[in-house]
Amino acid sequence: MTTCDLIAPADLTAADLSVWREMTAQTFAFGSPILSPEFTLAVAKVRDDVKVAVYRRNGKTIAFLPHHRRPNRFARPVGAPFADYTTLISFPDTAFPAKEALAMAGIRAFQVAGLIDPYGAFDGFDGAPEDAYGIDLTLDEVSIINNVEKKHLKNINRLRRKLEADHGPVRFVVGDRDSANFEAMLAVKRAQTAQTGIHDFLAADWVQTLVRNLFDAPTGQGLEGMLVTLMAGDTPILWHFGPRLNARAHPWVSAFDAAYSPYSPGQIFLHECHKPLREAGVRYYDLSTGQQHYKNAFCNTHTVVQHGRLYADSGDGRASAAVANLAARGTKALGVASLTDRLTRRLDHMASLELDLKSRLDGTLYAFKSAGKRLRG
């Protein structure tokens, strides 16, 4: 008999946490810091809607589903929209249908982002596919060489030499603890979102607290925020920041000083980051989805993930799925499916950040006002 307990992260037992960690250690796809119990605990410190569905069979723990419980029996992955991966965390032989897992947890619908499904728990889920990339630093130096064409590589090296001639030696600071660099990164990224008309994903109070908690966490003692700064002389020109757990890092924020854009610092960073990351003990640098024209060239691992909405194997779940399918057929027949999908994703992204009605209304109004900026971008 399979049971489900809904538990606040702080109330998970040491045995629960041990089993969760054992599950993530057994499967490389589950090893992201995003899927760790440490990450769920960190998010639970800044939000009060985090629960973990703990599934047991005959008293033995077989799976975990950490999530945000929102109104109307709706749920999102913990940390969304920073949760780049979604899965039902289990052992290879204890996975069971995710639709059943949702029903047992009292979830009607679950927003799936970056689905990874090595054990088939989500069989039949038909989401929107997207490529996810990473840099496996355990390979030998020859195998780590990326896919940059020779002509492209020559141009990167030329720009690097010019950058050094104009501004000083290029170097990486992995695990940068300089708070001025951290604050500069946040300011640059937020200014960029305002300029392009994108919703400010760093503005929400819970996000501000989460990223600062991660940055302030002690190094080498569990989950921490890892800042990687690219310097030209004494000047920081580009930053990556995100969670690190043991030998795996997952940058969320990538920002650079626009004054240095003629030197293509992002390409210099991705082409040369292997050695300093390895020296800092990083063995996998997970760049996930987005900006695929860069990642395809500079990364050496690739997988396909899916985004969408999964409905529970329950009465209200099946009814919601039927309504959603009917609406999808309607928008497709009218030729507006692509537009509707983009609008839905944008609104869901905003809703995952803004937790009260006023903030969501303000965000929606801003989205309409800044539509011109996004189109020009």
Interval 215-233: pLDDT, tens: 999 999 999 999 999 999 9
Within 228-370, residue ranges assigned H as helices are: 265-272, 274-279, 292-298, 315-333, 337-353, 357-369
Q: Are residues 64 and 76 in the same domain?
A: yes
Tell me phi and psi for residue 200, to 5 degrees: -70, 100
Q: Are residues 124 and 229 in the same domain?
A: no
Instruction: Give kind and range of the element (H or E) at residue 299.
Output: none
* 289-298: average pLDDT: 79
Q: Are residues 232 and 184 in the same domain?
A: yes
Q: Are residues 124 and 145 in the same domain?
A: no
Longest dimension (CA), the chain: 69
299 found inside a domain: no
86 found inside a domain: yes
DSSP annotation of 9 reads: G
295 found inside a domain: no
Q: Which tokens sit at 2?
A: 């399979």
**What is residue 312's predicted lDDT score, i.e. its pLDDT?**
97
Query: Which of 47-61, 147-161, 186-200, 314-328 has maximum average pLDDT?
Result: 47-61
292 found inside a domain: no
Q: Are residues 71 and 155 in the same domain?
A: no
* 2-11: average pLDDT: 97
* 305-322: average pLDDT: 94
162 vs 192, higher pLDDT: 162
Q: For residue 136, what are the β-bridge partners?
A: 284
Report the interhelical angle of 205-216 vs 37-44 (nearest 10°). 130
84 vs 334, higher pLDDT: 84
Domain harbouring 223, CATH code: 3.40.630
**What is residue 374's predicted lDDT score, i.e. its pLDDT?**
46
Sign of CA dihedral 182, 260, 291, 200: positive
Domain count, the chain: 3
* 23-39: average pLDDT: 96
Q: Are residues 224 and 119 in the same domain?
A: no
Residues 322 and 109: beta-carbon distance below 8 Å: no
* Res. 180: pLDDT tops 70: yes
298 found inside a domain: no
* 87-114: average pLDDT: 96
Q: Are residues 50 and 7 in the same domain?
A: yes
Residues 215 and 241: beta-carbon distance below 8 Å: yes
In the predicted model, what is the mean pLDDT of the chain? 90
User: In 132-165, which positions are buried (b, 16+ CB within 10 angstroms) versus exposed (e)?
Assistant: bbbbbbeeeeeeeeeebeeeeeeebeebbeebee
- Domain extent for 92: 2-129+304-333
Q: Are residues 143 and 56 in the same domain?
A: no
Closest CA to 65 of 37, 88, 90, 98: 88
202 found inside a domain: yes
State what percent of residues in the chain have pLDDT above 70: 92
Interval 348-376: pLDDT, tens: 877 888 877 676 666 566 555 655 554 45
Q: Are residues 215 and 350 in the same domain?
A: no
Closest CA to 163 of 240, 229, 256, 262: 262
Interval 325-345: pLDDT, tens: 887 788 777 777 676 777 777
296 found inside a domain: no
Q: Are residues 104 and 9 in the same domain?
A: yes
**What is residue 305's predicted lDDT score, i.e. its pLDDT?**
96
Interval 102-127: pLDDT, tens: 999 999 999 999 999 999 999 999 99
Give the other-Cβ count within 10 Å of 219's Cβ: 12
Closest CA to 197 of 366, 23, 41, 13: 366
Q: Are residues 177 and 203 in the same domain?
A: yes
Interval 37-68: pLDDT, tens: 999 999 999 999 999 999 999 999 999 999 99
* Spatial distance between the Cα atoms of 44 and 47, rounded to a whole number of angstroms: 5
* 287-296: average pLDDT: 80
Within the chain, residue ranges assigned H as helices are: 14-26, 37-44, 98-104, 141-144, 150-167, 179-196, 205-216, 265-272, 274-279, 292-298, 315-333, 337-353, 357-369, 371-376
**What is residue 145's predicted lDDT score, i.e. its pLDDT?**
64
Q: Are residues 31 and 79 in the same domain?
A: yes
Helix (H, G, I), strand (E, B) or coil at 118: coil
39 found inside a domain: yes
